[in-house]
């Protein structure tokens, strides 16, 4: 392979190497939920699908409020860390001090309003303690976000992963204590989360102190707010897409259906793990190479590789999840409790939904580079409206399958609208033929997953054949050569 070809692939290779490390940390972070799901969906520890629904709705509240705690300052920190006029210590210190003040204030307000929040979300003011604990989790998680952002900005994925792994081990162990041993149910999950967040924050203080000083710059804060605040409606719209289906399922189908839908939805988010991991490496990468003359071609090539790799993961997940989740391991446990199996067919739909979210993430560079963050809400907002409308129409007719289809329609809307806007603001030369073939192969695998007559080993053969076909049809000769060399070097131990 010529030196020119090697140089062309080197930046993308570094991007995917960092993404792979972030994938490990993101998987570890979310693996806890999947590892504990056999216990959460066992009536021994959480005694009903309705109580599991309470857990889902409380964490829905946490996810939604996270955007109000950060109000776009995390995105602003990352941008001004690389592209601002101020030194990095000033940027970090201003962000951190601002967040401490606003996060403490918001936490106090949630604690005071917790009975009303519990009545609105859970229809039971007596469960106000759930939301008081949720407020404390939000406080520490919002502050923890900043040192993790610093590690991403410094391109230190190994340290990032080490801290994430520590948090995973700690929180998982505390869940075993509070949920399984002490049988505290949903309260036990919240206690475990609080303790893990506090300890994780203390452990990461050295990263904070590396940049923190008492140097608050009000003019910089105003500039960062102007950049970051448009992310609030964008974040609200995104979380509407992510979470409004749970609320509507609860209102239209009942709390029991929320538990059924959410337990299966979790397995559909496996592609989200990879997209979030990729995004952690993607944002610093595209900002760093933005001034290079071939930046747009690099972004286009990344989209092609995502269509191929992400498509195979989505198709493989769709093919194999039914067997994986219904196998009785060691004649002792299932990965998903039998009371929840009727929802398994929604998993391929959710997988496909997050594939389109990955496309959306890849198309975001122009809006950071051109300082057009205020337009992001148009994409998420339109998708949120599609999500709400589709849920209202489909839920009464199709049950939880209607909610899954609404999720797919909303993420497709996000990808389609950002693509149309990108064509005007920051055009990226998409490799349509290769992307189209990759997507067609993915859709074929998803369709095959719903054919019950195709047994497990036939599915294995179909998946392997599809992967080989993709290798020869989608990849260019020099890409196939680069892939072979990489595999040979790994096999010989020349690279880790």
pLDDT at 488: 66
pLDDT at 4: 47
Which candidate, 377, 317, 45, 53, places its Cα nearest to that of 192?
45
Q: How many CB atoms lie within 10 A of CB 166?
A: 16
- Are 280 and 346 part of one and the same domain? yes
Asked which of 228, 250, 270 is the last residue of a domain, the reply is: 228
pLDDT at 2: 44
Residues spanned by the domain of 397:
1-34+229-491
- The whole-angstrom separation of Cα 90 and Cα 438 is 45
Q: How many domains does the chain have?
A: 2
pLDDT at 328: 84
SS3 of residue 287 by DSSP: helix
- Are 208 and 244 part of one and the same domain? no
- Are 317 and 442 part of one and the same domain? yes
Residue 66 has φ and ψ, to the nearest 5°, of -55, -35
Contact 53, 258 (CB under 8 A): yes
Which candidate, 192, 103, 190, places its Cα nearest to that of 139?
103
- Are 332 and 203 part of one and the same domain? no
In a 10 Å sphere around its CB, with 0-12 CB exposed, 13-18 middle and 19+ buried, how is residue 72 labelled?
buried
- Are 113 and 258 part of one and the same domain? no
In a 10 Å sphere around its CB, with 0-12 CB exposed, 13-18 middle and 19+ buried, how is residue 291 labelled?
exposed
Asked which of 178, 211, 228 is the last residue of a domain, the reply is: 228
- Are 158 and 110 part of one and the same domain? yes
pLDDT at 62: 92
pLDDT at 75: 77
- Are 180 and 294 part of one and the same domain? no
The pLDDT tens digits of the residues spanning 123-146 come to 899 999 999 999 999 999 999 988
pLDDT at 33: 67
pLDDT at 465: 94
CA distances from 161 to 152, 216, 381 (A): 10, 30, 33
- Are 357 and 384 part of one and the same domain? yes
pLDDT at 24: 58
pLDDT at 6: 47
Asked which of 228, 257, 274 is the last residue of a domain, the reply is: 228
Contact 143, 103 (CB under 8 A): yes
Which candidate, 446, 385, 375, 443, places its Cα nearest to that of 413?
385
CA distances from 195 to 58, 134, 141 (A): 17, 12, 11
- The whole-angstrom separation of Cα 168 and Cα 176 is 12
Which candidate, 76, 74, 70, places its Cα nearest to that of 371?
76
pLDDT at 496: 47
- The whole-angstrom separation of Cα 203 and Cα 168 is 14
Residue showing tokens 């603001």: 425
Q: What residues of the chain score a pLDDT lower than 70?
A: 1-34, 82-84, 280, 373, 453, 486-496
In this structure, is residue 121 part of a structural domain? yes
Output helix, strand, coil percentages for the chain, rounded to the nearest 5: 85, 0, 15
Which candidate, 95, 382, 62, places its Cα nearest to that of 227?
95
In this structure, is residue 89 part of a structural domain? yes
- Are 182 and 295 part of one and the same domain? no
The pLDDT tens digits of the residues spanning 479-494 come to 788 777 766 665 555 4
In this structure, is residue 496 part of a structural domain? no
Contact 175, 125 (CB under 8 A): no
- Are 82 and 213 part of one and the same domain? yes
In a 10 Å sphere around its CB, with 0-12 CB exposed, 13-18 middle and 19+ buried, how is residue 57 labelled?
buried
In this structure, is residue 134 part of a structural domain? yes
Through-space distance between the first and last CA atoms of the chain, rounded to whole angstroms? 21
- Are 137 and 248 part of one and the same domain? no
Q: Strand pairing partners for 333?
A: 329
In this structure, is residue 3 part of a structural domain? yes
- Are 118 and 240 part of one and the same domain? no
Q: Where are the alpha helices (DSSP H) in 41-156?
A: 49-70, 73-83, 88-122, 128-153
- The whole-angstrom separation of Cα 49 and Cα 40 is 9
């Amino acid at each position: 392979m010529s030196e020119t070809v090697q140089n062309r692939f080197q930046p993308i290779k570094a991007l995917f190497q960092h993404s792979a490390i972030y994938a490990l940390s993101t998987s570890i972070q979310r693996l806890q939920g999947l590892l504990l799901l056999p216990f959460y969906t066992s009536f021994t520890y959480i005694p009903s699908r309705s109580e599991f629904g309470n857990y889902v709705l409380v964490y829905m509240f946490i996810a939604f409020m996270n955007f109000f705690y950060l109000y776009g300052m995390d995105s602003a920190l990352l941008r001004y860390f690389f592209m601002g006029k101020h030194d990095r210590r000033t940027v970090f210190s201003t962000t951190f001090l601002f967040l401490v003040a606003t996060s403490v204030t918001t936490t106090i307000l949630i604690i005071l309003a917790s009975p009303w929040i519990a009545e609105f979300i859970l229809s039971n003011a007596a469960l106000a303690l759930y939301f008081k604990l949720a407020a404390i989790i939000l406080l520490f998680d919002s502050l923890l976000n900043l040192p993790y952002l610093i590690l991403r900005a410094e391109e230190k994925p190994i340290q990032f992963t080490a801290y994430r792994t520590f948090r995973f081990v700690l929180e998982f162990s505390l869940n075993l204590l509070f949920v399984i041993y002490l049988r505290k149910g949903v309260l036990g999950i919240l206690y475990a989360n609080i303790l893990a967040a506090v300890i994780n924050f203390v452990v990461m203080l050295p990263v904070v102190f590396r940049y923190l000083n008492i140097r608050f710059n009000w003019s910089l804060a105003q500039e960062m707010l102007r950049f970051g605040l448009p992310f609030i409606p964008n974040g609200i719209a995104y979380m509407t897409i992510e979470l409004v289906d749970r609320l509507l399922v609860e209102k239209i189908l009942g709390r029991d259906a929320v538990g059924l839908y959410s337990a299966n939805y979790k397995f559909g988010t496996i592609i989200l793990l990879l997209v979030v991991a990729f995004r952690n490496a993607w944002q610093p990468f595209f900002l760093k190479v933005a001034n290079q003359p071939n930046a747009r071609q690099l972004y286009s090539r990344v989209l092609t590789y995502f269509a191929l790799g992400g498509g195979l993961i989505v198709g493989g997940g769709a093919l194999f999840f039914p067997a994986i989740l219904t196998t009785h391991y060691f004649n002792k446990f299932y990965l998903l409790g039998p009371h929840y199996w009727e929802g398994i067919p929604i998993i391929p739909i959710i997988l496909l939904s997050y594939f389109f979210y990955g496309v959306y993430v890849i198309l975001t560079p122009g809006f950071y580079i051109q300082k057009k963050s205020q337009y992001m809400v148009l994409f998420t907002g339109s998708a949120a409206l599609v999500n709400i409308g589709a849920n209202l129409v489909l839920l009464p007719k199709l049950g939880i399958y209607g909610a899954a289809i609404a999720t797919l329609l909303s993420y497709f809307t996000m990808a389609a609208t950002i693509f149309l806007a990108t064509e005007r603001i920051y055009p990226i030369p998409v490799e349509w033929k290769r992307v189209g073939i990759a997507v067609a192969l993915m859709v074929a695998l998803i369709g095959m997953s719903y054919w019950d007559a195709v047994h497990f080993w036939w599915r294995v053969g179909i998946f392997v054949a599809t992967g080989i076909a993709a290798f020869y049809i989608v990849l260019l000769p020099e890409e196939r050569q680069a892939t072979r060399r990489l595999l040979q070097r790994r096999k010989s131990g020349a690279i880790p």
